[in-house]
Homo-oligomer: A and B are copies of this chain.
Amino acid sequence: MTVKTHSFKIDTNKNFEIIDITSEVNGLIDIEEGIVSIFSRHSTSAIVVNENESGLLKDFEFMLANLITDEFSYQHDRIDNNAKSHLKSFLLSSSECLPVKNGKLDLGTWQSLFFVELDGPRRNRTVTLTMVGE
């Protein structure tokens, strides 16, 4: 049994951007079997698992914009004009904790792991991986 940690950086190019990080995370996993925490160190981003289909990812952006709308005035915008980005992050969560098998994420056929930028563009978004297993 062992603990291993890694981190990697992401530069984003748009205000909303959803980036498939499955391959990058698989390349950093160095246990054979166990659990890995994938954690974004930012409160205007999220980590999610779903299908990588371009139309669906557009629907996801639309859904979030529909749930957290422009029609209200948010208090946090007086300090930093990104309340909606934080609120989307609250709803989605900044981490996932996933199974590892045979040295990689044990996902289903139609599942990918995504980093969701909710307040870009940004440089040096950091994702940490913490693995426990053998």
The interface of chain A, by Cβ under 8 A from chain B, is: 1-3, 5, 33-35, 37, 39-43, 48-51, 53-56, 58-60, 62-63, 66-68, 72, 74-76, 78-80, 83, 86-87, 89-101, 106-111, 126, 128, 130, 132-134
| Nearest opposing residue in chain B for A66, CB measure | B72
Task: Identify 14 residue pairs between A and B in the complex whose beta-carbon atoms are under 8 Å apart, listed by A's number.
Answer: A1-B132, A35-B130, A40-B108, A41-B111, A48-B93, A50-B86, A50-B90, A54-B75, A55-B78, A56-B74, A56-B75, A59-B87, A66-B72, A101-B130
Chain copies in the assembled complex = 3
A34-B130, A72-B66, A99-B39 given; A49·B1 CB < 8 A: no
CB distance from A113 to the nearest CB of B (A): 11
Interface contact B34-A63, CB-CB below 8 Å: no
Interface contact B56-A110, CB-CB below 8 Å: no
A43-B110, A93-B49, A97-B95 given; A55·B75 CB < 8 A: yes
| Nearest opposing residue in chain B for A105, CB measure | B39
CB distance from A129 to the nearest CB of B (A): 8
